Structure 1
């Protein structure tokens, strides 16, 4: 018997949000909880890493949108790419 899981790119977007978190924070998420709790949280779609208070708000919003509990609310990868470009441009613009 083969178990078929409903998978689309919204799952990938959620995982991409976790990758963004790992790149920005520089550590492994969920290192403070047991493996059993981590697995349970992933299966139930309730586990989210905590975001430090000093994380820039645009990054925080992007990560939270990516791992939204409602897959319909997660952005498309094209929207993520656009947002990342906008953040890069705004960070490299000269200020007066």
Structure 2
């Protein structure tokens, strides 16, 4: 089959860590394959933006806002995403800001 593992979790192509990190400047030449090399907390989907946006109901918060808006299930536990929390604000699926 042509599907790759996890391909139905989101509606975009996730980037690899071999690309340049936009928040800390690390590139594949700097051993980006080891996330511990970077002091920033990156989104586990795109590896570019800062993480901290929380998926609900599971509570995982290793994602950036841009990626969360495209997720339909949590890549870590596979629970369906009904809403997400950024700071003190909770956004629900179907609200204009989600799109």
- TM-score for the superposition, normalised by structure 1: 0.28
- Return the TM-score normalized by structure 2: 0.28
Larger strand proportion, structure 1 or 2?
2
Structure ID, larger Rg = 1
Higher RCO (C-alpha under 8 Å, 6+ residues apart): 1
- Please identify which structure carries the higher helix content: 1
